[in-house]
């Protein structure tokens, strides 16, 4: 029993709003903080993958949903993750900050809401507000999420088309973000090519080896010289993009309305 206890590992996730706007986190349908907070840390996560839903305190902001949110490295080892979140109307943008080995004690910070997922208890409350998890969290969270989605759908821009399903050949189930230094090196390699065809080839070779965020796909797409190359690259990159639900934003790569329409039709299928 002692050896089993020593071998037990847990993951942790810390999410901090860079714009100080408050939000609520749901994990596998259970509410973590019933009162919105601007900094949340969830500890003692045992599985490698969870469903995460993040709802802004602002009803006009769309919910952020990750059906598969991994809390492990590529080898499957549970880790301590740090993310930042900010509101870019009408959506929430979650950005990877760092990953390290687990911490055995919770963060000593008066401004962060810390929750023990294994014991379902609060170590520290944010903003001096007493918060008590409701025993019927699954029912309450489902109702809250459905209500939030109904309200948000009324203000969703018609051009903002979300890719609901991952492509059949999706390569980024681990949701592993690239290191910034590696990404900058890849951009340099693409720009070092003189012809447009070679730049496109290098861009696809580079992207095919990694998992990129939508914003990184946009950056590379904007490096390419002509509209056809941009379209070729972006449609290729969808299978190598981590945040599939944000992929509609890649429309900004294109200049011509015809190309934009082809892109929108492709991701809407």
Residue-wise pLDDT tens digits, 15-43: 999 999 999 999 988 888 888 999 999 99
109 pLDDT tier (thresholds 50, 70, 90): low
What pLDDT, on a 0 to 100 scale, did the predictor assign at position 179? Answer: 78
DSSP notation for 114-168: EEETTTTEEEE-GGG------TTHHHHHHHHHHHHHHHHHTT--TT-----S--T
Question: In whole numbers, what is the pLDDT of the chain averaged over residues?
Answer: 79
Domain boundaries, the chain: 2-153, 180-268
Instruction: List the one residue out of 88, 124, 87, 89 whose CA is nearest residue 105.
Output: 124
Q: Is the pLDDT of residue 126 over 70?
A: no
Interval 147-158 mean pLDDT? 45
Residue 49: CB partners within 8 Å, gap ≥ 6? 68, 69, 70, 71, 72
Domain 2-153 sits in CATH 1.20.272? no
What is the Cα 263 distance to its own chain's centre? 22
Interval 172-198 mean pLDDT? 84
């Amino acid at each position: 029993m002692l050896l089993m206890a020593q071998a037990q590992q847990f993951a942790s996730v810390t999410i901090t709003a860079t714009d100080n706007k408050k939000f609520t986190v749901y994990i596998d349908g259970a509410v973590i903080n019933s009162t919105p907070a601007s900094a949340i840390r969830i500890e003692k996560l045992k599985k490698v993958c969870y469903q995460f839903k993040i709802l802004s305190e602002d009803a006009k902001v769309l919910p952020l949903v990750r059906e598969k949110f991994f809390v492990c490295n590529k080898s499957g080892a549970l880790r301590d993750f740090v993310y930042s979140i900010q509101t870019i109307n009408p959506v929430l943008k979650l950005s990877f900050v760092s990953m390290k080995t687990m911490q055995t004690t919770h963060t000593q910070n008066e401004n962060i809401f810390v929750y023990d997922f294994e014991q379902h208890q609060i170590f520290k409350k944010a903003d001096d507000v007493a918060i008590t998890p409701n025993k019927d969290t699954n029912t309450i969270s489902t109702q809250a999420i459905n209500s939030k989605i109904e309200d948000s759908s009324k203000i969703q821009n018609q051009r903002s088309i979300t890719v609901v399903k991952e492509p059949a050949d999706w390569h980024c189930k681990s949701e592993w973000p690239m290191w910034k230094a590696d990404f900058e090196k890849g951009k340099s390699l693409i720009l070092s090519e003189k012809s447009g065809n070679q730049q496109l080839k290098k861009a696809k070779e580079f992207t095919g080896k990694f998992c990129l965020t939508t914003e990184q796909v946009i950056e590379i797409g904007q490096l390419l010289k002509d509209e056809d190359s941009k379209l070729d690259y972006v449609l290729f990159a969808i299978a190598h993009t981590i945040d599939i639900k944000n992929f509609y934003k890649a429309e900004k790569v294109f200049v011509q309305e015809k190309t934009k329409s082809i892109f929108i039709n492709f991701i809407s299928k």
